[in-house]
């Protein structure tokens, strides 16, 4: 048997909030945009004409519980 003990060579440092905040805001905006296209891009609130977006996210609408027809 070996009596070797391993000591950590590097101690993890916390990431400063100033570095995380821009990425968190960016991810939040992408999430809101995705929720809009899955949940509300249809009918009177539609930004794009036609039903291409609705058909593209149709199964995701049902999976997430959004009614569409």
Query: What pTM did the predictor assign?
Result: 0.64
Q: Domain segments of the chain: what residues?
A: 43-69
The listed range with the strongest mean pLDDT (10-19, 21-30, 53-62) is 21-30
List pLDDT tens digits, range 41-67. 777 777 778 778 878 888 888 888 888
Rounded-to-integer distance, Cα 32 and Cα 34, Å: 5
Q: In 3-state terms, what secondary structure has residue 35?
A: helix
Among 7, 6, 68, residue whose Cα is nearest residue 37: 68
Rounded-to-integer distance, Cα 49 and Cα 42, Å: 9
């Amino acid at each position: 048997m070996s009596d070797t003990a391993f000591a950590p060579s590097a101690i993890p440092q916390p990431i400063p909030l100033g570095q995380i905040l821009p990425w968190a805001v960016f991810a939040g905006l992408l999430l809101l945009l995705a929720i809009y296209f899955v949940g509300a891009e249809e009918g009177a609130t539609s930004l794009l004409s036609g039903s291409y977006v609705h058909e593209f996210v149709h199964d995701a609408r049902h999976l997430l519980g959004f009614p569409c027809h």
